[in-house]
Structure 1
Amino acid sequence: MKSDRATTSLNLPTLLSFNELAWVAVSAMALFCGYLLSETSDHSTSKLQQQLAAGHRGLAAQRASSQELSNRLAQATSELAEAARRQAQAERRIAELVSQMTQAQTEMLSLTSRLSHVEEEASKLKNRLAEAQSKLASATDLNARLQAQLQQVTDRLEVQKKELAEARRELWEAANELAAVRARLAERPSEGNVRKELLGLRGAMSNVVILLDRSSSMADGRRWGDSLRVIEAWLEYLPIESCALITFSSQREAFPPGGHFLAVGGTNEIARTARKDLIRQVRARPPDGNTATVEALQLAYSYPGVDTIILFTDGEPLDLRRATDPKRGLMAARESELSAAERKRIAKAQIAEALALARKHPDIPINVVALADYFTDWKSEFLLGLARNTGGAFLGR
């Protein structure tokens, strides 16, 4: 025990010294380290300062580079914005171009359709042109033939002109001769009266009304043409001073119109022209319809100063517009639809009416020129009765 305590007591100062030594050592170490650090720090500081200076220079260079990069970035940003604007414009332009392209495609389709239609029309026109060219060729050939024929006609016309000139000369000579004959006849007016007496006509012949039947039956044979030729000759060679000509069928028509006479007497040019015009107007109206004799007589008696009537007819009066039937009332049937009994009944009724009308004017002779078959009992009774009751003449042709 005592030995342990002695050891302890002996080692305690040694331990403290060791601790002190350790502290010293540590202090020395610390000093050395401090020295080393000091040396190192000075060296490092210098180096660091150099490095710091180099860093400042690098930082300055970096700042300059950063500024340049900032400038470039700003420029790039501006260029990017400009590029974006241009891209937007380009996109709008592209959209416009796409729209225009779509419209152009639509128009192209329309033009294609129209082109197809135009081509079809062109094809038709080509066909028509070919047809027209064919017709033109035919027309050219026809024109050549017509030209040849025209030349022939021209040649014949020249010959005919010469013949016409000769005929005119002969006609002029004949006209002069005829004028001389008419002048001689005018100097002997009694010859007209002689002709009238030879024909057996009655009346003063100053104001004459000629009644000409223009019913459809007058177209048979030569009745119509012969009647016109007789009237034309009588107007020229009988002593008729003034004349009115009334044609009658289903209706009546007067020449000249207006209820007055036309001066036709004499051999002057005015009288000859009047006679020709009168016949020409009547000739232009061919026969047609029924026989309205009663209405024609009524119109003849209405002319003021009429002194002679000449009636050309081929039969009895038969005006269906005036015909009545006790059972059926007014008859509007066509003549072909009448029975023989109905026709005879209507004719006899109108004959009686015409004879009664003539008896009211006994001082105006009716000269009857009967045409064709007028020998039946009731036809001859009618026609002879008109002449007998008025002091006129009856002439059968």
Structure 2
Amino acid sequence: MSIPDDHDESSAIGWISFSDLLMVGLIVLLLSTANLSNSRVELENRARQAELNLDREIVSNQEKIAKAEEALRIQESLATEIERLNFELSAAKKQEEHYLAEIARLSIVEMDLVDKTRQLTEATAELQRAMELLEEANAELLVARQELNSAQLQLSKAIQKLTESEVRLAEREKELTALKKYIAEAKIPDEKQLTLWRGMEKENASLKEQIGKLMGELELARKESMRLLTVVSDLETELKKQRADQIGAEVREQGFRQELLGIRTRNSGYGRVVFVVDCSGSMVRSSNSSDESRWDYVQTVIRNWLLLLPFQEVQLILFNNDVDVHPLPGEFISLKKTAESRRLDIQPLLTALKNTVPNQGTNTSLALRTAYEAENVDAIFLFTDGQPMLKAEVDTTSEDFRTLQNEVLDLIVREKQRGNAPPINVIGLGDYFSNRLAGPEQKHLPFGVFLTRIAQLSGGTFLGR
């Protein structure tokens, strides 16, 4: 390196200045590099911090998005639930309206039932009065007939006595005539003959007087007999009227009893009915209400209905595995209107029931097919306590139950389509709504539901006992 001359002052100054400048520039450069490095570090730190902040923000946003999505799902679920609740509320309101309408209808039915019960009470009282009047008329007629018989007996005795007196008088007159002839022929009557003659005349006069009295008594007896005959005739007329009133009262009472029972018939007719009675082995069990067997209960009900309800013709079908028809298939027993006659008319049916011993299974389908074979039937009454089955006891889970049930229900539908549709009034006995009878897997209808379905399909009614 050359050293500048002392003489070259400007050059020295310029070199120093350049060196200084170079040094300054280097220092500045170093400082700038240091600053740049610091700035880079700071920027990197800031970038890392910003990245961390961004990551946190992303996580926070993701959580917010998840929460928002969850809230949206909850909102959608709530909207669905609200819609369902609104639907259920609407259905509940309709159900409430239905219940209110049903309550109103039942209130009307209850009022009608109360009115019908009152009318039944009045009809029963009227029937009782008619029966009392009939008994009084019968008693009066009996007394009048007794008096008439007594008067006729007295009249007969009076006639007999009068006849005897007339015979005696004729004999005395004959003797008196003979005595008069004897005295006339004898010219001189002896005292004995005259005494006899006077005695005979006196006796004849007494006999004539007695005959006169008897004739008067006979006339009075004849008049009394005529009066009593008129009384008996009037009483017989009144008795006929009382009997007619009693029959009318019985008919009205029977009508009210039928309405209270809810029995349904075709076209409101009661002419021809068929009683279809289950006599399977289970009918010997006790009924729900007492120790009385179901079979005894059925006999009592049928007897009372036949006596009280206005049926005109009746047929009885007893069924278990088979059927037994009384009096015969296609034939009916005619029932008269008077109570005494009806008791005699229904006796063969009651005897058939009494002589039957319940046993075997329950072939309901065969029994109803037999009932449908009768013509112009107004109503069928089905008394039963068991599922349709072909054996006395079977497994309640058996598919046979469903088959036999469907067979019965299909039969009713087919007969209705044919136009043969007498209502079936079902009288269920025993534990007909027990779950045991439905089977654990519900393979067939519960027995009570099955019985009500029979009544509904046929247009009849179900009566639980």
TM-score when scaled to structure 2?
0.42
TM-score when scaled to structure 1?
0.49
The structure with the largest alpha-carbon Rg is 1
